[in-house]
Amino acid sequence: MSLVFVTRCPVEDETALEGACSHDDEPDKVRQFCCRWNLPYSRIFRSIAVYHAGEDPHCETPALKRHGDPFLLRAEEVPPDLQLVCSEDIQQAVLRGMDDPDGERRRVEIFEDMSALLPTDLAGREEALVRALRRRQPDEYVEARMFRALRARDVVRKL
């Protein structure tokens, strides 16, 4: 897979990442949006930033920086568990989409539901992630979510 997966966490050492989950500041709004547009949702998730190989995963946008230091994840561990991907920060896209009368268009354009893909369909998963990368704006990052906590074996090292 020619993609790079990074998660951010406010810890110094990758051994402290075992069991780490992400959270939304507005979980009820994210849940409502996902239910309204038939997108997968879970309160238990880990947020993953997706990059093309060769891109700098040290991106320091304010949206990313507030989540802590970047940790490189194993490309062979993460993709089978990804359930939802968005061409930008999922919560921010949802909050903008809540009052958007053309919400379905936004969903189709920036969200990818990966829950119907078999975990072994790595080619299909990569295609969905690459589509999201093609649609992102230059100042955005692609966010994917897996609906589980981080495992120690997911992490390669701190970047």
pLDDT in tens, 60-77: 666 566 667 788 999 999
Within-domain flag for 128 = yes
Position 48 in a domain? yes
- Kindly list the strands in the beta sheet with 142-146, ordered across the sheet, starting from the edge strand earlier in the chain: 111-113, 82-86, 142-146, 46-52, 3-9, 69-73, 155-158
Task: Supply the pTM of this predicted model.
Answer: 0.87
Does residue 39 belong to any structural domain of this protein?
A: yes
Mean pLDDT over each residue of the chain, to the nearest integer: 85
Q: How many domains does the chain have?
A: 1
User: pLDDT at position 98, please?
Assistant: 66
Is residue 150 one of the residues assigned to a domain?
yes
Find the distance separating the first CA and the last CA of the chain, reported in whole Å: 19
**Tens digits of per-residue pLDDT, 103-148?**
666 666 789 899 999 999 999 999 999 999 999 988 788 999 999 9
Q: Is residue 159 part of a domain?
A: no
Answer yes or no: is 60 within a domain: yes
- The answer to whether position 105 is within a domain reads yes
Average pLDDT of span 33-56: 89
Angle made by CA atoms 31, 33, 36, in degrees to the nearest 5? 105
**Domain span at residue 99?**
3-154
